Amino acid sequence: MLGVTRHIVAGRGFAASMTVLDALNSALDEEMSADPKVSLMGEEVGEYQGAYKISKGLLDKYGPDRVCDTPINEAMDHIINSAAKSNYMSAGMISVPVVFRGPNGAAAGVGAQHSRLCYINDGGPERRDADELPCMAVSFKSLTWGKATAEALDSSFCLPIGKAKIEHEGKDVTITAFSKMAGYALEAAEILEKDGISAEVINLRSIRPLDRTTINTYVRKTNRLVSVEEGFAQHGVGAEICASVGEESFEYLDAPVESISGADVPTPYAPNIERMAFPQVEDIVRATKRACYR
C-alpha cells in the first residue's frame, strides 16, 4: 500500500489496548477527518480496503476523490528520484508533504517476493511530520496484529524522526535493533539478565536519519556492541552502525562488534525454514554472550 497523508498519528477515543492494524487505520481516519486536503492513494486501498485492511471503511467515509486505487506499480523511482529530491532541486520552492506507508519484512509463508526488508522508520502508528518533505513509514507484517502501546495511542504523542529510544537500561553491552528485532532484543535482554549480563537495548526507530549520537554514547558506556537486523548484512543498517562506531568510538570497545542479520538468500516459503533465514532471540543471546566473552 502506498499511503499519502500529511501525518500518521494515534487515534482518539479508543481503548488502551488495540492492534497496530487498528491504530494505523484510526490514524489515517483521524488525519483525513481533520484536514480535507489529506488523501490516500495506493494499490488496493479503496475497494479492497488494503491488503491488511489498513484502509478499512475509508472509501465509504471519504469517497473516491480522496481514497483512490492506483494501478500496481513499482514506486521506488517516484520516491527516490522524484519525491525525495523535488524540494532540493527547486531551491525550496516545491514541498512534497507525502508519507509513503506500507507493510514490510517476512510474514510467515509469503515467500521471497513479499518478505524482504526495506528502510523503515518504525513499526508503530506514531506521528510523522511530513509538512515539507516526503517520509517513509513501514510497519512489519508480522506485527500487524500485535498490540499498539498505550503511549502511542495518546493523541498528543509525537515521535521525532531521527531519535532512538532506550528500551532497556544496561551496563555490560549495547544491543541496537529496530521494529520486530527490537522486541526480540528485549526478550534476549531478559534471558541474559538471568545469566548475569546487563544488556542495554536501543530501539533505533528511524533508519535514515540514524541516531549516531545515541548509539555511540551508549557504546562508550558499555564498551560492547551487538547489532541486530532482519535485512542482509552487506550494505545493511548494521554495517552503517559498525562503521559509525569504528570511526567515533573504536578506542572504547573491549570486544569485537557482533553483527546479526538475515541470511543472504531469497526468503524461504515454508515457515519452519523461513525461521532459519532470520535472526531469532537465541541468536541474539549467543552473540551477546560472545561479545561479553561468556
C-alpha to C-alpha distances, 110 to 28, 143, 192, 274, nearest whole angstrom: 26, 15, 32, 10
The beta-strand segments (E) located in the chain are 40-42, 67-69, 99-104, 135-140, 165-168, 173-177, 199-203, 225-228, 258-260
Q: How confident is the model at residue 106 (pLDDT cuts 50, 70, 90)?
A: low
| Predicted pLDDT of residue 11 | 32
End-to-end Cα separation, the chain, in angstroms: 45
Q: What is the pLDDT of residues 169-214, one digit of tens each?
A: 999 999 999 988 999 999 999 999 999 999 999 999 888 889 999 9
Torsion angle of C-alpha atoms 214, 182, 230, 176, degrees rounded to 10: 30
Q: What is the pLDDT of residues 33-52, one digit of tens each?
A: 999 999 999 989 999 998 88
State yes or no: pLDDT of 85 exceeds 80.
yes
State yes or no: pLDDT of 231 exceeds 80.
yes
C-alpha cell at 246: 569504528
Amino acid letter for position 269: Y
| Predicted pLDDT of residue 119 | 46
pTM of the model: 0.72
Question: Which residues are CB-contacts of 59 (< 8 A; sequence separation ≥ 6)?
Answer: 45, 46, 47, 49, 67
